[in-house]
């Protein structure tokens, strides 16, 4: 399974979140001063629009250690629990079996992954699990053909490194809200 799991707030009261993203031992052992400062929100586990963004699965895949640390810090700050992958092979294996009927998982996918690279992974997903995930692609290549390939292969965004982390987190929150609304609407239609 995943190489590590993290939670933005170890004392988060949302049981469902912790079930999906168990708090890592490292995070649990860390002194309170080393943990990220909690961000005040209207209600725990919701964003300003009242959407339960933290209950949605967020997967982060990167083999770039510096980007990984920055993303981890920023997502912890924004209280967006996430699951971290450093290998395309591992991510692809998990995505093929990940249930998506309760929520559309959002994936931050660094294209420069070992094992299966990002574009090959997107291609597999397009064939085997189309529209099952919302993928935000990251790449150190800013050229147009990389961006076009990412978008045509199903990514909803493509950001070139060095990307603006505040913009990325804002986009993530926006896509997670979209995923939550989509899921609720689908569930309503199914039960309606």
Partner 1 sequence: MLGFNLLLVALAVQGAIIALCLSVLLLLRLRMTARLREVDEGLQHFEPMLHRWLTSEQDPADLVRALRAMPAHAALRASTRLTTALVPAERHPALARALRDEPWVCAIIARGRSRLWWRRFDAARLLCVAGQPIDAPLVTRLLADRSPAVRLVAFDAAVRLGDRSLIDRGIGDLVRHQDAVQAYHFAALGLQPVLTGEALCRRLASPATTAELVAWIDAAGALATPAPLRAARLLARHEDADVRVHAARAIRRLAEPETVPVLIALLDDADWRVRAQAARALGALRVADAVEPLARAVTDRAWWVRYRAALALAQVGGTARAALLAIADGEDALARDMAHLVTSLSPSAVIEMSEV
Cβ 39 to partner 1 shortest distance, Å: 10
Give the span between the Cα atoms of 75 and 170, in whole angstroms. Answer: 11
Cβ 3 to partner 1 shortest distance, Å: 20
Q: Which residues pair with 110 in a beta bridge?
A: 138
Cβ 156 to partner 1 shortest distance, Å: 16
Residue ranges that bind partner 1, judged by CB under 8 A: 66-67, 69-70, 73-74, 77, 119, 122-123, 126-127, 142-145, 148-149, 152-153, 161-166, 169
Cβ 127 to partner 1 shortest distance, Å: 7
Residue 69 to residues 12, 49, 59, 159: CA-CA distances in angstroms? 21, 28, 14, 17
The DSSP line for 17-51 is HHHHSPPPHHHHHS-GGGSPPPPP-SSTT--TT--
Q: Quick one: CA dihedral 178, 134, 57, 95, positive or negative?
A: positive
Q: Closer CB to partner 1, residue 50 or residue 162?
A: 162
Looking at residue 115, the DSSP 8-state letter turns out to be S
Cβ 157 to partner 1 shortest distance, Å: 15
Q: Closer CB to partner 1, residue 89 or residue 140?
A: 140
Q: Closer CB to partner 1, residue 19 or residue 144?
A: 144
Q: Closer CB to partner 1, residue 103 or residue 138?
A: 138
Report helix, strand or coil for 56.
coil
Give the span between the Cα atoms of 191 and 90, in whole angstroms. Answer: 35
Token pair, residue 1, equals 């399974």
Q: Closer CB to partner 1, residue 161 or residue 174?
A: 161
């Amino acid at each position: 399974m995943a190489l590590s799991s993290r939670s933005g707030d170890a004392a988060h009261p949302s049981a469902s979140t912790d079930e999906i993203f168990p708090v890592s031992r490292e995070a649990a052992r860390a002194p309170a001063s080393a943990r990220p400062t909690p961000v005040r929100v209207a209600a725990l586990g919701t964003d300003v629009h009242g959407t339960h963004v933290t209950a949605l699965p967020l997967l982060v895949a990167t083999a770039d250690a510096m980007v990984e640390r920055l993303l981890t810090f920023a997502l912890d700050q924004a209280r967006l629990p996430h699951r971290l992958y450093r290998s395309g092979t591992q991510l692809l294996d998990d995505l093929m079996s990940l249930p998506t009927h309760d929520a559309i998982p959002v994936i931050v996918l660094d294209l420069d992954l070992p094992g299966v690279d990002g574009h090959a992974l997107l291609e597999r997903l397009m064939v085997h699990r189309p529209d099952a995930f919302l993928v935000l692609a990251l790449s150190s290549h800013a050229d147009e053909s990389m961006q076009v390939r990412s978008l045509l292969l199903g990514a909803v965004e493509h950001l070139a490194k060095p990307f603006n982390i505040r913009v990325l987190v804002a986009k993530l929150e926006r896509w997670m809200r979209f995923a939550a609304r989509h899921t609720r609407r689908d569930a309503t239609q199914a039960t309606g």
